[in-house]
Structure 1
Amino acid sequence: MNLSNRIKGAVAAAFMVGVFFSGTTAKAQQVTPPVQQQTQQNFTDKELKQFADASTRLMDIQRKGEEKMMKILQEEKLDVNKFNEMAQAHQQGKLTDTQATPQEMTAFNKAAQRMMEMQPELQKEVEVAIQKDGMSLDKYEQIMAAYRQDPALQERLNKMMDQQ
């Protein structure tokens, strides 16, 4: 798996609960610090290694989180596509407009509540994964923002990952 996919996985891990269930950006910002407008472009190899290692750990957190969420949906007897449809409608304030049965509404509410209850634990796991090798949350976000904007940094990180 290339670094671009790992980075996307890391981002998803950081936001998977907050963004989909809160309906506000404030919840998402609780999971990760806000991205700064001006990004630093000169990162050391050590910082990039820490970033790559943290991203790998975040992918594992994402995978485990997704497994837990799938188990919740199975227990609540709710199809993942129906849940996603309802979650999107909820985020837009149009949940009552969906063609969901009363049973699906009940299952959705229970599943969403259980997933929201996972958020503090996920947030802590994300923070620990990023900080494990001494990287700060701010530095991780700086590198992430630069990675999104700078093809040269993307290439540098991809080469670094290929060598490991």
Structure 2
Amino acid sequence: MKLQNKFKGMIIAALTLGLVSFSDAAFAQQTTAPQASQQQTTPIFTEVELQQFIDASERIMVLQQENEKAMLNILEEEKLDVNKFNELAIAYQEERIDEAEATQAEKEAFTKVAERIIELQPTVQAEVQRAIEQDGMTMEKYEKVMMAYQEDPSVQAKIQSMLAVVEE
């Protein structure tokens, strides 16, 4: 049940914050399949850069959890169920909100929730940027490491080994 609630929160974050690349910051808890064809060689990162990436990702996960709580509070205030919000968000993205099975009150609540969450975006994006840049990493470098992590098993292995050392 706890995992299901976390998953719902992640759906909310992904649908509303537009931080898809940052929602993958839970890299330590997941594995991604490497893409079959890499067109260029993965850049080599220093241990300092990888540690900056790990530290920034951990800070981003905390921010994501805080923002998920804020979004869940907004849903509660507007009296809209998480599942209904997600259903309406998908319908909205697919441009079929008028066809969605929902009452007029639910659709109005969805609109209010979406507007309130959108208002949070600039603040959230600024917090994410600060979390990344706190130790001297740039947004561009973070994105490059994230891409390499997602595509290159050797980068995944290096980061996983660095995390394993920290856990010991």
Code of the residue aligned with 1:70 in structure 2: it is: L
Percent of pairs identical after alignment? 44
The match for 1:116 is: 118
The match for 2:136 is: 134
Alpha-carbon shift at residue 162 of structure 1 (Å): 1.2
TM-score normalised by structure 2 residue count: 0.77
Higher RCO by CA contacts (8 Å cutoff, separation 6 or greater): 1
Unaligned runs of 5+ in 1: 1-8, 32-36
Q: Deviations over 1:106-147 (max 9, x none)?
A: 110000000000000000000000000000000000000000
Question: Matches of 1:142 and 1:120 in 2, distance apart?
Answer: 22
Code of the residue aligned with 2:100 in structure 1: it is: T
The match for 2:151 is: 149
- Equivalent residue for 1:20, pick from 15, 18, 23: 15
Computed over aligned residues only, the root mean square deviation of the Cα atoms, in angstroms, reads 2.6
The match for 1:159 is: 161
Unaligned runs of 5+ in 2: 1-6, 23-38
TM-score normalised by structure 1 residue count: 0.79
